[in-house]
Amino acid sequence: MTSLQFHEGSGGTTAGVTTVRAADDKLQHFVTRIAGHTDLDCLIQIRDNEQVIWEVAKDVSTGCDFSYDVDVIPITPLNKVDVVISASTSDCFASITGFSRHTGSAVK
């Protein structure tokens, strides 16, 4: 089965940031890594179509940058996936890396 690699990134300011890999009517996404930086203690989440499926608290006293290899997290077929930084005072960035596979049937 062919896998399609993806990498998405978004920057934010005072309200945090959400980086999205859009839903596709023929694909299932799999997350392998998230990374970025934030300037405020916050929650970092991976969400499967708005449902939190992975979460970590980030304490910026240990540094602003973060990177988590999350093994392989399967997202429900045909759903979007996003990574969320819940808060920031002025600067943050989040990226999501993974791959997608064809589900074998399309939603009509």
**Spans of all domains in the chain:** 3-101
pLDDT of 73 above 60: yes
**Amino acid identity at 99:** F
**In sequence order, which residues have a C-beta less than 8 Å from that of residue 56 and are 6 or more positions away?**
43, 44, 68
CATH for 3-101, options being 2.60.120.730, 3.50.50.60, 3.40.50.11440, 2.40.10.10 = 2.60.120.730
Tokens standing for 83?
């990574």
Arithmetic mean of pLDDT, 75-98: 94
Q: Residues 30-65: pLDDT tens digits?
A: 999 999 999 999 999 999 999 999 999 999 999 999
- Residue 2's nearest CA partner among 105, 103, 101 is 101
Dist. CA 54–CA 11, nearest whole Å: 20
